[in-house]
Structure 1
């Protein structure tokens, strides 16, 4: 049962990442009009570095695809880990209204990492 729940949550998480990654390239999701000024400033600064947004989008897209499949899920978690640190810090310091969702997503990521810990420990041997 636990494995099935993790698989379902991993698929949702992977699809969320794929959606976010694709939006970095295709810009199909509307930007909310009521974004806090600090978050708007951060987004503008982020987009000034021309290569950064495509890099994050690529990491989200690749990590999301890898997380969909149990065999590559551990690698996908490593790929999206830096992006997820940015998401958590953004919601912690700039946009706290989204912190609850960010923490739920982080819980899924940490569960994926925990369940694949034996694969990571081999890297440290």
Structure 2
């Protein structure tokens, strides 16, 4: 179980670090956006909110890579994951059954379950 938790946290951490690095280095490929996405990004991009989210994505990914700070990393990326799911369901319209979204949710839920004793204080 120890190695599965370590592998899951490394995979999830590298996913978030990679995606936020792509944003910060400006190497994101151009994508064709539907009208809803265009309006959303027109409001979302210039305000600096996207940079704010990507900083938490990077910070959470780095914290996930270190076993002692794994729970703090989950705390940072939890709201980001909820925003990603909401974006894909409500704005993009392709639903939450995208394979990468399923992997991200499965890894984060597995890590939450593996560290359930540490999180128990929040629900009691």
TM-score grouping bracket, smaller chain normalisation: 0.7 to 0.9
8 A Cα contact 1:92 1:99, kept in partner: no
2:78 maps to 1:86:
no
Which residue does 2:50 correspond to in 1?
Answer: 53
Which residue does 1:99 correspond to in 2?
Answer: 97
> What is the Cα deviation at residue 90 of structure 1?
0.9
TM-score, normalising length from structure 1? 0.83
Aligned partners of 1:47, 1:99: CA distance in 2, in Å?
A: 25
Which residue does 1:25 correspond to in 2?
Answer: 24
Q: Flag structure 1 segments of 5+ consecutive residues without an equivalent.
A: none
TM-score, normalising length from structure 2? 0.83
Structure 1 window deviating more from structure 2 (88-97 vs 13-22): it is 88-97
Which residue does 2:62 correspond to in 1?
Answer: 65
Query: Number of residues paired by the alignment?
Result: 122
